[in-house]
Structure 1
Amino acid sequence: MAARGSGEAVVVSGGAGELVLMWAGFPLLGAGLGAALTAASGWVADLPWFPFQGWFALLHRWPAERSYPVGAGVLALAGLVLALLGTRERLTVTVGRASVRLHRDGHGRDVARAGVTGVFHDGKALVLLDADGGELAREPSDLSAERLRAAFTGQGWPWVEQDPYGTAYRRWVEGLPGLPPGADALLRARQRAIDAGRAGEAGELRDELARLGVVVRDERKRQYWRLVPGPPDRDGVRR
């Protein structure tokens, strides 16, 4: 996990070691697993509950000089795909005195220091709060909380050790009162997206809920919500 200075800014990222682990480790692990499954392909092909039985039956029929390179190669390729996805999902945080840049998958966003009243690490997410208690950013990552704390405090940002609104969250249960109009339907749609693994859609629905003054936190595919203390506008929507 790397943290380095860049002029006046401090960059926190997974570092080169994380890339080496993904691009070398994942394919090697996949190749080893593929070879082991190829060796056991006859046994695996007889397991009624195991997926891809036809594939393992085919590997079992092939001679070893053909089956082992193919079996190991397929899972090594799967390891490369995982490495690519992992690289795209890496978060890089560049903290300066006046703003922070959050960069992931070729896209970045800047958050001005003037609008931030609290920064903290919530589980595996970096969170930035605004003056009304809303979330300016919630970015999942595996970055070290200690390195993030050092980067933000070193640049004069208001780091807090825990969510100041942590006790305000309630678990979402469909139909329970307390939510603004439209929020229950959005949470229902978001729960479907979470269950289906559609992270992009879940993120878009989080943004829609934020416009209604609802902050959402996820724990093991369960949604927890709280209302933003700041007042909404005349239409009941936070701008």
Structure 2
Amino acid sequence: MTTVQEAAAVRYGIWVACPAAGAAMAWGLKLAAGWITTLGWFPFQGVFELVTEMPEPWATLAAITVGAVAGFVFALFWASEMMSVEVSHARVTLRRDDKTFGFGRDEVESVFADGKQLVLLSPAGAELVREKSDLSRARLEQAFTGQGYRWRAADPFAGEFRMWIEHAPDLPADVNALFTARRKAISRYETEEAAELAREIRKRGVSVRDEKKRQYYRCAR
């Protein structure tokens, strides 16, 4: 079995680097607080005025603590977005945070990378999964081809995608309802909700991808 994941330096380093960077940025803003209060257009003026009024060393300690906590929260988000891919002759498993997507060898006809998304196709041409990944395309290709899977250079069905419109006549009512809900999630920048709705759409045999906040789809053959 071959496992493709972020380098250990990234997986573990973010827990130190992100809080440290957040603390450093907050400390820098604290040092500049007096000057920032003279800029009427700068947002959060009340916060910076409060900082300038706080006695030392509490002002510095508060800034560093808040920055470190913000950096830790960012590290949590980053870690939740990391994906690992396990490829064996018998099975493909994708893991992200608390989600796992697994497929048997006979379910996967081919694999390709569409930008930063990893896509697995079924023998019928349906998209089994389309998940965002920052993993190296070269490493993914090597992992799949090394286990005997077909790696495609591009989406063989790219020309079949059509832009979704309200109540698309060739889609069932429940799929159109999912697209409508997903459009709202995209407009609100609810990325995880949009991703989960896309998974539900794919379960119904309809592939979906985005271009500049527009949804495109194709039906399985």
TM-score in terms of structure 1 length: 0.83
SS in 2 for 1:148: helix
Q: What does 1:88-107 align with in structure 2 at a 5 Å threshold?
A: 88-107=80-99
Between 1:174-183 and 1:196-205, the stretch displaced more is: 174-183
CA apart distance, 1:45: 3.7
CA apart distance, 1:160: 0.6
> Structure 2 stretches of 5 or more lacking a match?
none
Alpha-carbon separation, structure 2, partners of 1:147 and 1:155:
13
Which residue type is aligned with residue 103 of structure 2?
V
* Partner of residue 143 from structure 1, selected from 124, 135, 140: 135
Residue in 2 that maps onto 1:34: 26
Given that residues 206 and 219 in structure 2 are in contact (C-alpha distance below 8 angstroms), is that contact kept between their aligned partners in structure 1? Answer: yes
Q: CA RMSD in A?
A: 2.0
Residue in 2 that maps onto 1:22: 14
Residue in 2 that maps onto 1:192: 184
* Partner of residue 156 from structure 1, selected from 139, 148, 155: 148
Between 1:39-48 and 1:143-152, the stretch displaced more is: 39-48
Between 1:41-50 and 1:120-129, the stretch displaced more is: 41-50
Given that residues 117 and 130 in structure 1 are in contact (C-alpha distance below 8 angstroms), is that contact kept between their aligned partners in structure 2? Answer: yes
How many residues were matched structurally? 221
Q: What does 1:52-201 align with in structure 2 at a 5 Å threshold?
A: 52-175=44-167, 177-201=169-193
Between 1:198-207 and 1:121-130, the stretch displaced more is: 198-207
Given that residues 37 and 49 in structure 2 are in contact (C-alpha distance below 8 angstroms), is that contact kept between their aligned partners in structure 1? Answer: yes
- The 4+ residue runs of structure 1 with deviation greater than 6 A are none
Alpha-carbon separation, structure 1, partners of 2:15 and 2:137:
24
User: Identity over aligned residues, as a percent?
Assistant: 43
Given that residues 46 and 53 in structure 1 are in contact (C-alpha distance below 8 angstroms), is that contact kept between their aligned partners in structure 2? Answer: no
Alpha-carbon separation, structure 2, partners of 1:125 and 1:18:
20
* Partner of residue 200 from structure 2, selected from 208, 212, 217: 208
Inter-CA distance 48–176: structure 2 relative to 1 (3 Å threshold): farther
SS in 2 for 1:163: coil
Q: Which has the higher contact order (CA 8 A, sep 6+)?
A: 2
Question: Deviation digits for residues 164-198 of structure 1, max 9, x if unmatched?
Answer: 11111122233555434343332111011122233
> Structure 1 stretches of 5 or more lacking a match?
1-8, 230-239
